[in-house]
Amino acid sequence: MTTIATVTGSTTPEKLGKTLMHEHLVIGYPGWESHTTAPGPKRAEMLAKCIARIEELKSNGFRTLLDPCPNDLGRDVALAQEVAARTGFQIIAATGLYKQEEGGAAYWHFRNSFGDVTDAIAELFIKEIEDGVGETGVRAGIIKLATGRGKMTDYERQVFSAAAKASVATGAPITTHTDGGTVGELQQQLLTSLGVPAHRIVIGHSCGTSDHAYHLQIARGGSYLGFDRFGIEMIRPDAERVKALVALLRAGAGDRVVVSHDSVWCWRGMPFADPKILEAAEQIWNPLHFTRRIAPQLKAEGVTDAQLAALLEDNPRRFFAGEKLAALA
């Protein structure tokens, strides 16, 4: 039986239930610690906010959440572990590295001056998957990767190559970040060429574009598409995401789409100059937005309850179970 590492132990695909595939308890962009006059919320405050969010999710039938925060973006597996332990909720953590532009590339760039770091990064990912993150004992259940808009840098290619080695060695699946609905097809091609089964990959933020041909190319390649930024209106209107998702469902690709919001519940430092910006955004950009506002819009377009259940339950289960996807016409 397939087992999935969570921050409090392990679970099985059958026990996942309703699952959000891309939400963040906490994010801290590299350099946040330099902003000493704005350290952000204290741990007790973060813990209280995260528990409140989880309890709200539980009351709406959710049982599991994937927090794909990579190592260099403020990841806090101990916080996730405490939240999960207090709520009885299943949280899956990630190992991985973020895109060059906004991640911790400087450290690995320096290491690269002494020789290629691909193997060292692969060893890091494998260690966190098999043994746990640092001394926490919390094992990662997935690998998180990222590219910037329109291209994959040499550094990002190194990280993808390392992740493929780790995935093949451990069987861990992969989820990605893309910008503006670009480079997803290259991510898929590179990872599969290095031995990662296509159905073990989620091409994240695919809803960053309404390009149906782009979506179908990834879907026909056998990977999952993350429609996982519902509620981020400043990047792309939800109306366009809904239209693109309906088109995919009508094309028969409803078995390979997962949904979420990429919501961030706590921020390290003060990345927003005006806190009111975040307060306003959170009225929509929260982990129940899909259930409360998007699902009714989809149903108005003829999407069935069974199709909605596939997005939130069946597809996450089959993805983590490693079930192959049927060929798509």
Residue 278, pLDDT score? 87
- Cα separation, 187 vs 193, in Å, equals 10
Percentage of the residues of the chain whose pLDDT score is greater than 70:
100
Residue 193, pLDDT score? 98
pLDDT per residue as tens digits for the range 242-270: 999 999 999 999 999 999 999 999 999 99
pLDDT per residue as tens digits for the range 9-40: 999 999 999 999 999 999 999 999 999 999 88
What single DSSP character describes residue 148?
B
Residue 277, pLDDT score? 87
Q: Which residues are CB-neighbours of 239 under 8 A, at least 6 positions away?
A: none
Query: Which string of b and e fits 227-254 if b means at least 16 CB within 10 Å?
Result: bbbbbbeeebebeebbebbbebbeeebb
**3-class DSSP state of 187:** helix
- Cα separation, 229 vs 226, in Å, equals 8
Nearest CA to 176 among 168, 165, 190?
Answer: 190
Average the pLDDT over 128-148 and give the result: 98
For the domain covering 4-239+249-321, report its CATH number.
3.20.20.140
Strands 142-146 and 90-96: parallel
- Cα separation, 97 vs 118, in Å, equals 12
pLDDT confidence band for 1 (50 / 70 / 90): low
The H or E element that residue 80 is part of is helix 77-87
Instruction: Encode 20-62 in three state secondary structure.
Output: ECCCEEEECCCCHHHCCCCCCCCHHHHHHHHHHHHHHHHHCCE
| Pair 117, 164: CB distance under 8 Å | no
Sign of the torsion formed by the C-alpha atoms of 160, 30, 7 and 287: negative
Token pair of 240, please?
Answer: 């366009």
pLDDT per residue as tens digits for the range 219-233: 999 999 999 999 999
For residue 279, pLDDT over 80 is answered with: yes
Return mean pLDDT, the chain.
97
Sign of the torsion formed by the C-alpha atoms of 9, 13, 14 and 16: positive
- Cα separation, 255 vs 247, in Å, equals 13
All structural domains of the chain with their residue ranges = 4-239+249-321
pLDDT confidence band for 197 (50 / 70 / 90): very high
pTM above 0.95, yes or no: yes
